[in-house]
A = this chain, B = another copy of it.
Amino acid sequence: MKQVYAVIMAGGAGTRFWPASRELLPKQLLALGPTANSLLRETSARIEAMVPSSRQTVVTAARLAEKTMAELPHAAVLSEPAPRNTAPCVGWATWTIAARDSEAVIMVLPSDHVVSDVPEFQKTLAVALASAAEGHIVTIGIKPTRAETGYGYIELESEVAAGVYRAARFVEKPNRARAEEYVASKRFLWNAGMFFFRAQDMERALRTHLPELAQGLDALRAAPEKLADLFPSLPSVSIDTGVMEKLSELRVVPGDFGWSDVGSWESAWDLGQKDENKNVLPEDAITVEASGNLVRQLGRMNGKLVALVGVQDLVVVDTEDALLIMPKSRAQDVRAVVEALKTRKNSKHL
């Protein structure tokens, strides 16, 4: 089989994990999964057996380049001078890898997800890579476990090879009723933003569907020293809407490997190790009739004694310079706090 390369997309900002996440410490650099490692490092480690880090490329934002390199010292880092959404990210990485290996088979993975069943994940990747190596553009669709309205869905058509389906269409985030239909039908999968292709196939797809982007990438490949000028002028468009939804043929490999996009503090609780009262707590915490709570300590707050008395289903995040307390059910509203900080021009805490 041709050499496989990985592109890990790690440019995300993310405000949903404030006060743990900050502009200079976004979600993928936090240990939000079950281990003490950052989501980014876990993403890299999860594929290391299939794609050694010497063939891993991380695409990130310039302001995060240093921390990203510290996390993954053996990976190549592409540092975007400006955020241009995922199509330029995937395109730039593809152009770069193709220059090194024109036969490359590439997997694109988000950097900030969690997988609990790694062997199953790797099996699914292998199926997707095999299909990509044959010249298909492939995505993994996650078997839904609930009527989630926060994700896009992919509708399956027919099975075209063992475990590989033709995609009927992409569907934007549905409403509740529609999401319930999707889950019941068993023909809809979650779009998890993982893509597999030969470099040449993505190049062709971009030339067809986003010719302006492809020309920009050609210019960049010809004059890499002009990155700071050229990159910000690339069209800002997602790989989903710019390419995937327009392909006449897209393959989907259904996956079921304990996937989570760790979308909020509530899902961090969901993934955490729970005590007998469903609390996710630091060691030595004292609880008196407290249940369903998540307490996270960061930096020097690590190891501080936490005592919860008679509280239920709270999220408590204690960092060196900020303390957040809210019900788990309000986890999305942490954005309101970030907005308030912006209004106050409080850059220290952003």
- Residues in chain A within 8 A of chain B (CB atoms): 18-19, 286, 288, 304-311, 314, 316, 318, 320-327, 329-330, 333-334, 336-337, 340-341, 346, 349
Taking a contact as CB atoms closer than 8 A, the residue among B304, B322, B336 that contacts A323 in the complex is B304
In the complex, which residues of chain B have a beta carbon less than 8 angstroms from the beta carbon of A323? 304-307, 316, 318, 323
Check A330 against B309 for contact (C-beta < 8 Å).
Answer: yes
Check A311 against B288 for contact (C-beta < 8 Å).
Answer: no
Report the bound CA distance from A323 to B309 in whole Å. Answer: 11
3 closest residue pairs by CB, A with B: A309-B326, A310-B330, A305-B322
Check A309 against B321 for contact (C-beta < 8 Å).
Answer: no
Report the bound CA distance from A320 to B303 in whole Å. Answer: 11
CB distance from A140 to the nearest CB of B (A): 34
Closest to A308 in B: B325
Report the bound CA distance from A327 to B309 in whole Å. Answer: 7
Report the bound CA distance from A334 to B307 in whole Å. Answer: 9
Check A307 against B322 for contact (C-beta < 8 Å).
Answer: yes
Check B316 against A325 for contact (C-beta < 8 Å).
Answer: yes
Check B316 against A304 for contact (C-beta < 8 Å).
Answer: no
Check A311 against B327 for contact (C-beta < 8 Å).
Answer: yes
CB distance from A345 to the nearest CB of B (A): 12
In the complex, which residues of chain B have a beta carbon less than 8 angstroms from the beta carbon of A309? 324-327, 330, 333-334, 336-337
Report the bound CA distance from A327 to B325 in whole Å. Answer: 13
Closest to A323 in B: B306
CB distance from A69 to the nearest CB of B (A): 30
Check A326 against B308 for contact (C-beta < 8 Å).
Answer: yes
Check A321 against B304 for contact (C-beta < 8 Å).
Answer: yes
Check B19 against A336 for contact (C-beta < 8 Å).
Answer: no
| Sample of 26 A–B contacts (CB below 8 Å) | A19-B305, A19-B307, A286-B341, A288-B336, A288-B340, A304-B320, A304-B323, A305-B323, A306-B322, A306-B323, A307-B323, A307-B324, A309-B327, A309-B333, A309-B334, A309-B336, A310-B326, A310-B329, A310-B333, A311-B314, A311-B325, A311-B326, A311-B327, A316-B325, A318-B323, A325-B325
Report the bound CA distance from A44 to B349 in whole Å. Answer: 40
Closest to A297 in B: B323
Report the bound CA distance from A327 to B320 in whole Å. Answer: 24
In the complex, which residues of chain B have a beta carbon less than 8 angstroms from the beta carbon of A341? 286
Report the bound CA distance from A288 to B326 in whole Å. Answer: 9
In the complex, which residues of chain B have a beta carbon less than 8 angstroms from the beta carbon of A327? 309-311
CB distance from A341 to the nearest CB of B (A): 7
Report the bound CA distance from A304 to B336 in whole Å. Answer: 18
In the complex, which residues of chain B have a beta carbon less than 8 angstroms from the beta carbon of A349? 305
Report the bound CA distance from A253 to B308 in whole Å. Answer: 43
Closest to A349 in B: B305
In the complex, which residues of chain B have a beta carbon less than 8 angstroms from the beta carbon of A325? 306-309, 311, 314, 316, 325
Closest to A331 in B: B309
CB distance from A21 to the nearest CB of B (A): 13
In the complex, which residues of chain B have a beta carbon less than 8 angstroms from the beta carbon of A346? 305
In the complex, which residues of chain B have a beta carbon less than 8 angstroms from the beta carbon of A322? 304-307
Interface centre among A19, A288, A306, A334 (most CB of B within 10 A): A288
Closest to A309 in B: B326
